[in-house]
Copies of this chain bind each other. A is one copy, B any other.
Amino acid sequence: MRAEIVSVGDELLKGERVNTNAAFISRALAGIGVPVGRVIACSDHVDEMVSVFAESLQRADLVLVTGGLGPTRDDRTKKAAGQLLGRETELNEEAYQNLAVRIKTYGVEMSASLRDQAMVIEGCQVIQNTRGSAAGMIIACGEQFHNHTLVLMPGVPSEMKAMMELTVLPCFAALSDTVIRHTPVKTLGIGESGLAKMIVDVEDCLPAGTTLAYLPHAAGVNLMISTIGRDRDEVDRDNSSVVEAIVLKADKYIYATSEVTLEETILGMLASKGFTVAVAESCTGGLVASRLTDVPGSSSCFLQGFVVYSNQAKHCTLGVPEETIARFGAVSEEVARAMVVGCLEKSGADVAVATTGIAGPSGGSPEKPVGTVCLAIAHKKGEDLRSRTLVMQGDRQQNKLRFSEAALRELWHFLRQG
Residue total for A at the interface (Cβ-Cβ under 8 A): 105
- Given A74-B212, A158-B398, A193-B71, A18 and B13 contact (CB-CB distance below 8 Å): no
Interface string of A189-229 (1 = CB under 8 A from B): 00111101100000100000001111110000000101000
Judge whether B43 and A40 touch: CB under 8 Å. no
For window 56-89 of chain A, which residues contact chain B by CB distance below 8 Å? 70-74
Judge whether A19 and B15 touch: CB under 8 Å. no
Task: Give the top 8 A-B pairs by smallest Cβ distance, nearest first.
Answer: A285-B293, A286-B289, A286-B286, A15-B26, A305-B307, A15-B27, A304-B313, A286-B290
Q: Point out residues on A near B: beta carbons under 8 Å.
A: 9-20, 22-28, 30, 35-43, 48, 52, 70-74, 105-106, 108, 111, 113-114, 131, 156, 158, 182, 191-194, 196-197, 203, 211-216, 224, 226, 279, 281, 284-290, 292-294, 296-299, 302-310, 312-313, 316-317, 346-348, 359-362, 391, 393-398, 400
Q: Once the chains are docked, how many angstroms separate the CA of A29 from the CA of B307?
A: 40
Which residue, A281, A286, A362, has most C-beta atoms of chain B within 10 A?
A286
Shortest distance from the beta carbon of A188 to any chain B beta carbon, whole Å: 15
Judge whether B299 and A304 touch: CB under 8 Å. no
Judge whether A287 and B290 touch: CB under 8 Å. yes
Complex partner residue of A40 from B40, B73, B106, CB under 8 angstroms: B40
Complex partner residue of A74 from B39, B213, B362, CB under 8 angstroms: B213
Complex partner residue of A303 from B14, B197, B296, B312, CB under 8 angstroms: B312
Judge whether B72 and A362 touch: CB under 8 Å. no
A11 contact set on B, CB distance < 8 A: 213, 215, 224
Complex partner residue of A131 from B216, B304, B394, B396, CB under 8 angstroms: B394
Judge whether A74 and B304 touch: CB under 8 Å. no
A294 contact set on B, CB distance < 8 A: 285, 396-397, 400
Q: Once the chains are docked, how many angstroms separate the CA of A293 from the CA of B25?
A: 33
Complex partner residue of A23 from B17, B52, B396, CB under 8 angstroms: B17
A203 contact set on B, CB distance < 8 A: 73
Shortest distance from the beta carbon of A220 to any chain B beta carbon, whole Å: 13
Q: Once the chains are docked, how many angstroms separate the CA of A40 from the CA of B36?
A: 12
Shortest distance from the beta carbon of A75 to any chain B beta carbon, whole Å: 8
Judge whether B214 and A72 touch: CB under 8 Å. yes
Judge whether A15 and B10 touch: CB under 8 Å. no
Shortest distance from the beta carbon of A339 to any chain B beta carbon, whole Å: 12
A292 contact set on B, CB distance < 8 A: 285
Q: Once the chains are docked, how many angstroms separate the CA of A84 from the CA of B303?
A: 58
Complex partner residue of A297 from B37, B196, B213, B362, CB under 8 angstroms: B362
- Given A11-B213, A15-B24, A17-B215, A73 and B307 contact (CB-CB distance below 8 Å): no
- Given A72-B193, A113-B193, A216 and B15 contact (CB-CB distance below 8 Å): no
A394 contact set on B, CB distance < 8 A: 131, 158
Q: Once the chains are docked, how many angstroms separate the CA of A19 from the CA of B226?
A: 20
Q: Once the chains are docked, how many angstroms separate the CA of A71 from the CA of B310?
A: 42
Complex partner residue of A400 from B70, B197, B226, B290, CB under 8 angstroms: B290
Shortest distance from the beta carbon of A31 to any chain B beta carbon, whole Å: 9
Q: Once the chains are docked, how many angstroms separate the CA of A113 from the CA of B399?
A: 27
Judge whether B216 and A156 touch: CB under 8 Å. yes
Shortest distance from the beta carbon of A351 to any chain B beta carbon, whole Å: 15
Complex partner residue of A290 from B71, B158, B284, CB under 8 angstroms: B284
A293 contact set on B, CB distance < 8 A: 285-286, 307, 309, 359, 400
Q: Once the chains are docked, how many angstroms separate the CA of A312 from the CA of B299?
A: 12
- Given A294-B285, A304-B306, A310-B304, A16 and B224 contact (CB-CB distance below 8 Å): yes
Q: Once the chains are docked, how many angstroms separate the CA of A204 from the CA of B158?
A: 30
Q: Once the chains are docked, how many angstroms separate the CA of A346 from the CA of B306?
A: 12
